[in-house]
Amino acid sequence: MITAEECLINQEFYDNNELAEWQVQRAMVEFAKLHVDAALKVASKSAKIIIENPGKEDDRYYRIVSEDSILNAYPLTLIQ
């Protein structure tokens, strides 16, 4: 995955090592989009289904997506 610095370099935002405010904002948005896209792809493949029977009056089982499996699918340490 690309780092924030690599995003700036790849977007050719460097201008004698000085960046305009709009350049930094644009680079940050592009960087965020890359990581959100990656996180969603990982989460979609990592989601776990939990089958539950609440033990009520019927014998129905319910499929529930594990919230933890999605929230923990893309570690924040991947964002640099």
What ranges do the domains of the chain cover? Answer: 4-78
Residue 15: pLDDT above 60? Answer: no
Whole-angstrom Cα distance, residue 42 to residue 78? 12
Mean pLDDT across 17-39: 80
Residue 13: pLDDT above 60? Answer: no
Mean pLDDT across 26-45: 86
Separation in Å, CA 65 to CA 30, 50, 68? 30, 6, 9
Mean pLDDT across 68-75: 84
Predicted confidence at residue 3, as pLDDT, reads 77
In terms of pLDDT, which residue wins out, 28 or 16?
28
Predicted confidence at residue 31, as pLDDT, reads 84
Q: Which backbone phi and psi does 71 adopt, to 5 degrees? A: -65, -25
Q: Is the C-alpha dihedral spanning 16, 25, 77, 73 positive or negative?
A: negative
